[in-house]
Structure 1
Amino acid sequence: MKQGRFMLEPERFCVWREVKVLTSFPQRLVGMLMQQGLPRGQAYWFPSCTAVHSWGMHFAMDIVGLDAQQRIVEVRRNVQPGVMIRLRGTRSIIECESGFPYPLEQWCGRQLQFEEKEIDYGAD
């Protein structure tokens, strides 16, 4: 699974330091279903995605829609378990813990840059 972080441009401010990229159908279908919550600073990114569901979830989340240039176009806060949400004008979606402390709504129109990190599978 690809991992990395999202930086707010142009100041290069790290918004999410640990981002897991879900691209395969099984990854996208399951998403965060088995988790009881997300640590601060962690997020899931669903490239090529315009809708998400929270069926079977155990916690609320914040959802951020990005356009094709990875600009923030919509933010939905405190999305409760058991709903489906379609975000208009989005090409990808970020899911993070509800109550994320940064002013995401104020950053609408701002671009995020994804930086992939190398994963060393041989490290102890």
Structure 2
Amino acid sequence: MAQLINTSKDNRVIADNLSIAETFIDRGVGLLGKKTMQSGEALWIKNCFDVHTFFMSFPIDVVFLDKEMKVKDVRKNLRPWRMAFSPGSNSVIEFFGGTVKDEHLTVGDQLNVGG
């Protein structure tokens, strides 16, 4: 599995179990069907600027990225049956709700995928 690293914050590992959704089907399914997420788990949805939590059973934290993987927007604890979007974003990373803390990840931070 890949790691998500915040290079703006001393190369802090934000997620050590990063799944990547690149195909149309993987992007469409996203986290649907999951009952929860483990600590350190996240989903990176490429070519995406909006998300929904329809049919989901838990809230998520959503991080919108530009094409250089710089954080454009952060939406915390997006509850089931909600939508969020960030025009101009290139991809989205989804975490279990309550995972993203300001001291670990803020707008303007530069992220990198490694591992």
- State the TM-score, normalized to the length of structure 2: 0.90
Q: What's 2:65 paired with? A: 66
> Highest CA radius of gyration, 1 or 2?
1
Change (3 A) 1:30 1:94: same
Matches within 5 A, 1:103-118: 103=102, 107-115=106-114, 117=115
Shift of the alpha carbon at 1:104? 6.3
* Count of paired positions: 114
Unaligned runs of 5+ in 1: 118-124
Deviation at 1:85, TM superposition (A): 1.6
Identity percentage of aligned residues: 26
* Structure 2: tracts of 5 or more residues without a match: none
TM-aligned CA distance change 1:79 to 1:111, over 3 Å = same
Aligned counterpart, 2:92: 93
Q: Residue 99 of structure 2 aligns to a residue in which SS?
A: coil
Q: How large is the RMSD of aligned CA atoms in angstroms?
A: 1.7
TM-score w.r.t. length of structure 1? 0.84
Distance 2:67 2:58 in 1: 28
Given that 1:61 and 1:79 are in contact with CA atoms closer than 8 Å, whether structure 2 keeps it comes out as: yes
| Structure 1 residues 102 and 111: alpha-carbon distance in aligned structure 2, compared to 1, 3 A threshold | same
How far 1:102 moved relative to its partner? 2.7
